[in-house]
Chains A and B, each alone.
Chain A
Amino acid sequence: MKTLTHLDRLEAESIHILREVAASMQNPVMMYSIGKDSSVLLHLARKAFYPGPIPFPLLHVDTTWKFREMIAFRDALKDDPQTDLLVHINQEGVEQGIGPFTHGSSLHTDVMKTQGLKQALDKYKFDAAIGGARRDEEKSRAKERIFSFRSAQHRWDPKNQRPELWSLYNTRIKPGESVRVFPISNWTELDIWQYIYQENIDIVPLYFAAERPVVERDGILVLVDDDRLPLEPGEEPMMKQVRFRTLGCYPLTGAVESSASTITEIIEEMLRTTTSEREGRAIDKDAPASMEMKKQEGYF
């Protein structure tokens, strides 16, 4: 008889979770951030409901500062009959001209991402938002439940989480309350890459190394993705062989120098690397507990 590998078991667990959400929540949505974790999540959702369509829409909260290649990759999904893609932009933020350069990274992320997300959840009255966060990403994530309860104000109370026994998820909520659901909680970054390799999953080309124009700031290589990047005096974009380990708003996401241009090369590089994936993200560095605070406030 077939024995299951660790990836088989992770896949089965994730599919089970996705089906629980679809079956027991009124109006679920899947957060689609365009990154590799979203690609894996989407693939799992297709598998979970095959041959039927995915029974919930995908939602991208667009901060308007995503890499252009991400947007192109996202928009290709619009032609897919199995998926229903929604895009939400915080228009108030746009009207106030909020951006990472003018307002700083935290305010930008808070307004365009966290507030934008809450707006969208309220607007569509979603009672469950499925996300691709993993427990290995960050230490407060390691503490979070798979079905993570949120108050009507979208707040997370880390000290008072519902016990989560076996694979029996308590999906009951009151009107206005919601859950965030993390089907790939137990996957590591390496698992994700191995699965992408095994299943041949399509990802944004930015993950692969290529010659790209970058500038170096505070030790971080920033891609000159469009002409909104204000160049400081004397700053000259240079062409470098770079790739991204994680994708977000381009001004906030650092590139790494790399020659890995295939999945296997990426995995090989990863196995030798000595820094964590989130290091390229500016957002985590402010204070030690910043992710936990953001999550309490409603950040995914």
Chain B
Amino acid sequence: MDGYAAPQFADIETYLDSQLKKSLLRFITCGSVDDGKSTLIGRLLYESKMIFDDQLASLKNESKKFGTQGEEIDFALLVDGLAAEREQGITIDVAYRFFSTDRRKFIVADTPGHEQYTRNMATGASTADLAIVMIDARKGVLTQTRRHSFIVSLLGIRHVVLCINKMDLVDYDQATYDRILAEYRDFAADFGFESIQAIPVSALAGDNVVSNSDRTPWYDGPPLMEYLDTVEIASDDAGKAFRMPVQWVNRPNLDFRGFAGQIVSGSVKAGDAVRALPSGKSSKVSRVVAMGGDLDEGVEGQSVTLTLEDEIDVSRGDVLCADKQPAEVSDQFQATMLWMSDSAMLPGRSYVIKMGARECQMQVTEEKYRIDVNTRAHEAGKTLKLNEIGVVNIALDREVAFDPYEDNRRMGGFIVIDRMTNETVGLGLINFALRRASNIHRQAMDVSKELRASMKGQKPVILWFTGLSGAGKSTVANIVEKRLAAMGKHTYTLDGDNVRHGLNNDLGFTDADRVENIRRVGEVSKLMVDAGLIVLVSFISPFRAERRIVRQMVEEGEFWEVFVDASLEAAESRDVKGLYKKARAGEIKNFTGIDSPYEPPQAPEIHLETDRLDPEAAADLVIERLDAAGLLGG
């Protein structure tokens, strides 16, 4: 009944030569659990005579033992190869299976339907050209159907076969089929699929798998196998600009220096001008080297070795590109990520990223939004948990060559690796480069104040506690710092004591020294703000002018004057360190409030009236204000 793998040939040589011209099609089966994915693949293998007698015999045996079909053959067991899968009757990880027709060789990835194994489904989808989306005709479009279709579309698969399966269980009813198809087309409308071919099948009974079934006379499309055999998957990678990530620099001796890699798009010939990225150095290809003799041309998909006319510096991870159409170069991107680990993605944490042949460090600097996989609604979020998809900004520790994923899958896809466990924890697709400050010098772009701060999940600020000696500046600052630390914020406290003993131990209490004292403290605070810290400074700082100096050193909004307001009587009555007593006795000169004025702030960001508020309540107020101003990262 079929013209597939059982070959009819007159002479083997002719046959072999025709076999050598086969093309390759990679596809996946996906959809919800129990929709019949594994059964369908088992059926395809069986029908294309890929199952040998001994395998069939052991399949029959196992079907009785583990099968879900009574005495009948359970084709899913052909694919569900792990012991745990066979025992539980489910698919846990991708299985790769192979079959061929006279025209094509197929690599099928059978993917698991359970949500918890989504990463395995993505593994299968990442290399596929086409997806078979399975639907159980009795159940219609389910959550996992949507989820998988979304991931399929995200990963850039443009051709979908919608197998509406188990038609035997709905009496081969056309209305059911039509309804499901309409529903699917509706929700997949904006997925960017170039084709959706729907086929009513019974994976179990074989209807419309290799030949059209009498039981669906209303269906006039091709059976599945014929469709797979003939569908045109125009990969336009060959027609795109030349790109080859350099995997290996081949230097067997001083006379040969070749750059080995797989051409991910376009083609290359001797004489072509190429540019190495990110360095931007150009040269010409002198040879396309291969073991059997040099090639006239290297094309998309081929693994080649190129030699160049000039001795330009090219190493592993660089990308050779068509000189006139080079890839982009950046170190900051917006990307869509799918998280694949039980430990959530944390912005600011340092991960390893691998794209092309390049590995470097990366951080998520900001999560723009999370995508609800079912509704595709955007949600605010700070992290990504297992199987969640989000759009994020990322920063790398160096520049890399890339193309947006949409334009070039292998130039825009990356994986994320945990530095501690070495697990692959995420996958990402580059949407575009972020160049918010293209005029800023590279050194400044490298790791910016914004990056350092967002790594810490906060905005930097100087909290300048000013007030009389004994007003409670250090006490309140201390409590505020403890609260911040408990929230995971990064802080540092500068107060008169730790600064006077070190940095400023050469300064006394003359007016000039006081100004210099404040200037230095201001500069140190500014550096700390640049480092992304929340800096708490407790300084009497009695003069408005000197506080203004510091305010002007940093950017708007980064200096908060916190007026710790206590009356002289109250402060003097506390006199914790006995200083007022000494000042009154004339043992200390220029003591603020006694023989030197205190100029209270006129418009402090925070005014703490310590006669009314106890230190805890005062600290609460400070935290509240910081939070309200969005400095604590929400």
**Closest Cβ–Cβ distance, residue B68 to chain A (whole Å):** 17
- The interface residues of chain A lying within 8 Å CB-to-CB of B19 are 194
- The interface residues of chain B lying within 8 Å CB-to-CB of A289 are 82-83, 86
The residue among A163, A172, A265, A288 with the most chain B CB atoms within 10 A of its own CB is A163
- B54 lies within 8 A of A279 (CB): yes
Over the window 136-177 of chain A, the binary record of Cβ atoms lying under 8 Å from chain B Cβ atoms (1 yes, 0 no) is 101111110000000000000011011111111010111000
**Closest Cβ–Cβ distance, residue B506 to chain A (whole Å):** 50
User: A91 on the interface (CB 8 Å rule)?
Assistant: no
Spot the interface stretch: B119-127, B395-403, B492-500, B525-533. B119-127
**Closest Cβ–Cβ distance, residue B75 to chain A (whole Å):** 13
- B126 lies within 8 A of A19 (CB): no
- When chains A and B are docked, how far (Å) is the Cα of A74 from the Cα of B84? 39
From known contacts A143-B94, A166-B127, infer whether A268 and B260 are also in contact, taking CB-CB under 8 Å: no
User: A66 on the interface (CB 8 Å rule)?
Assistant: no
From known contacts A47-B290, A143-B94, A159-B93, infer whether A16 and B303 are also in contact, taking CB-CB under 8 Å: yes
- The interface residues of chain A lying within 8 Å CB-to-CB of B104 are 6
Cβ-closest chain B residue relative to A277: B52
- The interface residues of chain A lying within 8 Å CB-to-CB of B414 are 168
- B24 lies within 8 A of A264 (CB): no
- When chains A and B are docked, how far (Å) is the Cα of A220 from the Cα of B72? 30
- The interface residues of chain A lying within 8 Å CB-to-CB of B415 are 163, 165, 168, 170
- B20 lies within 8 A of A2 (CB): no
- A276 lies within 8 A of B55 (CB): yes
Secondary structure call for the B interface: mixed
- A268 lies within 8 A of B12 (CB): yes
Which positions 242-300 of chain A face chain B at CB distance < 8 Å?
264-265, 267-268, 271, 273-276, 279, 288-289, 292-293
User: B195 on the interface (CB 8 Å rule)?
Assistant: no
**In-complex Cβ contact of B297 among A1, A161, A274 (8 A):** A1
- B105 lies within 8 A of A166 (CB): no
**In-complex Cβ contact of A20 among B7, B100, B247, B417 (8 A):** B247
**In-complex Cβ contact of B98 among A136, A139, A194, A198 (8 A):** A136
Spot the interface stretch: B272-280, B349-357, B445-453. B349-357
- B238 lies within 8 A of A15 (CB): no
- A167 lies within 8 A of B98 (CB): no
- B262 lies within 8 A of A47 (CB): no
- A16 lies within 8 A of B247 (CB): yes
- A170 lies within 8 A of B58 (CB): no
- When chains A and B are docked, how far (Å) is the Cα of A7 from the Cα of B86? 32
**In-complex Cβ contact of B256 among A51, A140, A141 (8 A):** A51
Over the window 562-580 of chain B, the binary record of Cβ atoms lying under 8 Å from chain A Cβ atoms (1 yes, 0 no) is 0000000000000000000
- B81 lies within 8 A of A163 (CB): no
- The interface residues of chain A lying within 8 Å CB-to-CB of B380 are none
- A172 lies within 8 A of B352 (CB): yes
- B262 lies within 8 A of A167 (CB): yes
From known contacts A9-B301, A194-B16, infer whether A163 and B238 are also in contact, taking CB-CB under 8 Å: no
User: Could you count the A-B residue pairs with CB atoms below 8 Å apart for me: how many are there?
Assistant: 199
Cβ-closest chain A residue relative to B123: A163
Which positions 22-79 of chain B face chain A at CB distance < 8 Å?
22-24, 52-55, 58, 62, 78-79
- B97 lies within 8 A of A164 (CB): no
**In-complex Cβ contact of B21 among A5, A11, A271 (8 A):** A5
Cβ-closest chain B residue relative to A172: B422
User: A210 on the interface (CB 8 Å rule)?
Assistant: no
- A12 lies within 8 A of B302 (CB): yes
- A197 lies within 8 A of B16 (CB): yes
- A163 lies within 8 A of B303 (CB): no
Size class of the A contact interface (CB-based, 8 Å): 35 or more
**Closest Cβ–Cβ distance, residue B253 to chain A (whole Å):** 8
User: A64 on the interface (CB 8 Å rule)?
Assistant: no
User: B520 on the interface (CB 8 Å rule)?
Assistant: no
From known contacts A22-B248, A51-B252, infer whether A194 and B422 are also in contact, taking CB-CB under 8 Å: no
Cβ-closest chain B residue relative to A177: B422
Spot the interface stretch: A106-114, A117-125, A184-192. A184-192
**Closest Cβ–Cβ distance, residue B65 to chain A (whole Å):** 8
Cβ-closest chain B residue relative to A264: B12
- The interface residues of chain B lying within 8 Å CB-to-CB of A5 are 20-24
- The interface residues of chain B lying within 8 Å CB-to-CB of A191 are 105
- The interface residues of chain B lying within 8 Å CB-to-CB of A139 are 78-81, 95
Which positions 113-165 of chain B face chain A at CB distance < 8 Å?
119-120, 122-123, 126-127
User: A49 on the interface (CB 8 Å rule)?
Assistant: yes
Which positions 11-66 of chain A face chain B at CB distance < 8 Å?
11-13, 15-16, 19-20, 22-23, 46-53
- When chains A and B are docked, how far (Å) is the Cα of A23 from the Cα of B303? 15
User: B468 on the interface (CB 8 Å rule)?
Assistant: no
Cβ-closest chain A residue relative to B51: A276
- When chains A and B are docked, how far (Å) is the Cα of A286 from the Cα of B83? 14
From known contacts A16-B247, A186-B107, infer whether A143 and B93 are also in contact, taking CB-CB under 8 Å: yes
User: B410 on the interface (CB 8 Å rule)?
Assistant: yes
- A274 lies within 8 A of B105 (CB): no
- A23 lies within 8 A of B422 (CB): no
Over the window 234-273 of chain B, the binary record of Cβ atoms lying under 8 Å from chain A Cβ atoms (1 yes, 0 no) is 0000100000000110111000101011100001000000
User: A3 on the interface (CB 8 Å rule)?
Assistant: yes
User: B340 on the interface (CB 8 Å rule)?
Assistant: yes
- The interface residues of chain A lying within 8 Å CB-to-CB of B290 are 47, 50
- A19 lies within 8 A of B13 (CB): no
- The interface residues of chain A lying within 8 Å CB-to-CB of B297 are 1-2
- When chains A and B are docked, how far (Å) is the Cα of A48 from the Cα of B304? 8
User: A76 on the interface (CB 8 Å rule)?
Assistant: no
- B250 lies within 8 A of A265 (CB): no
Top-5 shortest CB links A-B: A139-B81, A52-B252, A15-B303, A6-B24, A276-B52
15 contacts between A and B (CB under 8 A): A3-B23, A4-B24, A6-B100, A7-B22, A12-B301, A13-B303, A52-B251, A139-B80, A158-B84, A161-B120, A166-B410, A170-B422, A275-B52, A292-B81, A292-B83
